[in-house]
Chain A
């Protein structure tokens, strides 16, 4: 059974500082997704990582994938209040193509 683990589950950040969220998964997968979810809203796609060593950046967020270690990281540079949300990583679960999600990391940025 595929398991996806995120840590930390809660992250209180100070503006201007750097932080990292980790996403581990239990079986082989060559693609990993990061989503953002604001309270009461749907999922917003941030990154799709398709191969070992893939690195993608958008603004203050940078995601990377190490398929050998079964690990993805989401790095936040110089946190700002607008980044406050819950972030999910997800992996395609087997041949049926559905996503298996981590429990989510709730980020809160304080001045």
Chain B
């Protein structure tokens, strides 16, 4: 299994809603990442987890809350988002931070209305 699975694929939420994005991998990778990609822009790092501990928070607003319940699972909890948060959210994993292979999930297309 060489896949990173993200759910849901699409999400539309209001600004007062609470929702969660889910990411799962069963490759034994110990580093997992959340990236945000706006239209026609490159992906930008949001969070890095290494061995289930938050390693980097790139000054992301608190309305985004990551969680890593175990080494295979990564969540991104969303609350009180703004329309400008609409984007493609990508999860990725690798054996460890900085190791050659970085596998990306299919992404969640988020629209905030």
Using a CB–CB cutoff of 8 Å, the interface residues on chain A facing chain B are: 31, 33, 35, 40-45, 48, 50, 88, 92, 95-99, 101-104
Point out the residue from A42, A92, A103 that lies within 8 Å of B106, measured CB to CB: A42
Cβ distance A101 to chain B, nearest Cβ, rounded Å: 4
Cβ distance A30 to chain B, nearest Cβ, rounded Å: 10
Using a CB–CB cutoff of 8 Å, the interface residues on chain B facing chain A are: 31, 33, 40-45, 48, 50, 55-56, 88, 90, 92, 94, 96-107, 109
* Dominant SS among interface residues on chain A: mixed
- Residue among A33, A40, A99 facing the most chain B CB atoms (10 A cut-off): A99
How far, in angstroms, from A46 to B43 measured CA to CA in the complex? 16
Q: Are B56 and A45 in contact (CB under 8 A)?
A: no
Point out the residue from B42, B94, B103 that lies within 8 Å of A97, measured CB to CB: B94
How far, in angstroms, from A67 to B108 measured CA to CA in the complex? 34
How far, in angstroms, from A69 to B58 measured CA to CA in the complex? 29
Q: Are A99 and B106 in contact (CB under 8 A)?
A: no
Cβ distance A69 to chain B, nearest Cβ, rounded Å: 21
